[in-house]
Amino acid sequence: MNRSGEVAIVVGAARGIGRAAAERLAGRQVSVVGIDRLADELAAVADAFVAAGRHMETKTVDVTDGAAVAAAIAAVLAAHGRIDVLVNCAGVTGTTGIKTHEVDPDDFDRVYRINLKAALLLTQAVLPSMLARNYGRILHVASIAGKEGNAGMLAYSATKAGLIGLVKSAAKDYAETGITINALAPAVIRTDLVAAMPEQQVRYMTDRIPMKRTGTLAEAAAMIDWIVSPECSFTTGFAFDMSGGRATY
């Protein structure tokens, strides 16, 4: 489906799932604004899109900075007059492969600010313009770790569980508008985020996938594309599963 005219913000677009989602939406002629804190990598992704006949505007923002988030969203609205879609893929694992008594509270705080508080800042920044138009699609990428709790990953699991709670609560606040707010809960997709984790931790997660394989970026992008499309209109506050059968609820 050609979706020209729509404007989408994709956060975390320099790498992994965010990059794949931005590419997929740009391929539908959606005007994509890619946000990331990695300026050079984000610019390189935008160049690669051009080489493939696609386009992505870029904004270098650390999304834990509320003023910077507000300024970036205001700039998008000034330039485009609307925001139809927010896909938030910014996330970090923090230190993994450790037990709860070993968790550094400062590391927990850093993971919390990126995985959960930034999601609030981004949601609050896009909502007013969506409410004015009575339309919006907000999707935060959570994790199966937030639904089940992964051993060795307390900060990650707790903040992703919080993110799912944020989505469930915010969705009901706006359920009578045309705005949907959902989460995606993947198991393992081989990205830089996973590559940085101890192999034993990655094995723990992949061993629990009944399909006996990891997910692909193409699968993630396709699912995101559907969830933030106009057709996905009767589902809000939901954590969409993408776990190869690990979660059946």
The residue ranges that bind ligand NAD (CB under 6 A) are 12, 14-18, 36-38, 62-64, 89-92, 114, 118, 141, 143, 186, 188-189, 191-194
Between 98 and 224, whose beta carbon lies closer to ligand NAD?
224
Between 127 and 141, whose beta carbon lies closer to ligand NAD?
141
Between 6 and 36, whose beta carbon lies closer to ligand NAD?
36
Between 97 and 178, whose beta carbon lies closer to ligand NAD?
97
The residues that bridge with 184 in the sheet, in sequence order, are: 141, 240
- Shortest CB 177 distance to ligand NAD, Å: 26
Between 135 and 215, whose beta carbon lies closer to ligand NAD?
215
Rounded to 5°, angle at Cα 64 from 60 and 70 = 65
- Shortest CB 229 distance to ligand NAD, Å: 19
- Shortest CB 40 distance to ligand NAD, Å: 11
156 is catalytic: yes
Cα–Cα distance between 3 and 68 in angstroms, integer? 28
Cα–Cα distance between 130 and 128 in angstroms, integer? 5
**Would you state the torsion angle of the CA atoms of residues 89, 17, 25, 175, taken in this order, to the nearest 10 degrees?**
-40
- Shortest CB 131 distance to ligand NAD, Å: 25
List of long-range contacts for 52-59, beta carbons under 8 Å, 24+ apart: 52/23, 54/23, 54/26, 54/27, 55/26, 55/31, 56/13, 56/22, 56/26, 56/32, 57/31, 57/32, 57/33, 58/13, 58/33, 58/34, 59/33, 59/34, 59/35
The residue type at 112: Y
Tokens of 181: 């707010």
- Shortest CB 83 distance to ligand NAD, Å: 17
> Of these residues, 112, 135, 156, 204, which one is catalytic?
156
Q: List the catalytic residues.
A: 156
